[in-house]
Homo-oligomer: A and B are copies of this chain.
């Protein structure tokens, strides 16, 4: 849906400087700053420096902007569940790959994923997003269970807590990550994967 819209918009630009993508990127910033519920079309128009009618040229209202933004975050994350390294090989390796990809996608689409993580299900668009998040959660839960069944998960860890705790760490990156900061997406993904899969303690207890 996003890409079809984008193509359409490219053929009928609104005011110079705003196609649907750039409009969406400003709207997501405002939603994250003020909260979606507290953001009116009036607020968006003011922040964009255009008339409300120029926004309606692109979308039916702020609900559609929310839907497009949440879809962008979810499309990226769900696409990763079908990548080759997420679907072949031992489950623990797939899980590791998928944790890495989640960090990379979170950072690439930072404002969109931030918005997604704040969704509480107050509107139809939010309810649809939560349903798609559950697909993501089910994929991860399946990998963790399979890794445990394959004997690759440390035996003293409750599998039911694993995905909550890993994604607690992954999602917390939205709280402090700043583009052009000290670390690249790959460096942060490396650190997350190293802590979660090999552990902080060196040499590892099994080797000592």
Contact = CB atoms under 8 A, between A and B. Distances in A.
Interface of A: 92, 95-96, 151-158, 160-162, 164-173, 175-176, 182-183, 187-188, 190-192, 194-207
Contacts of A173: 168
Q: Which 6 A-B pairs have the closest CB atoms?
A: A168-B172, A199-B199, A206-B207, A169-B169, A204-B204, A154-B202
Given A176-B164, A201-B92, A204-B206, A194 B156 contact: yes
A113 B73 CA distance: 29
Given A173-B168, A207-B207, A201 B152 contact: yes
Contact of A191 (B96, B151, B161, B170): B161
A172 B110 CA distance: 18
Contacts of A203: 206
A156 B188 CA distance: 12
Nearest to A201: B197
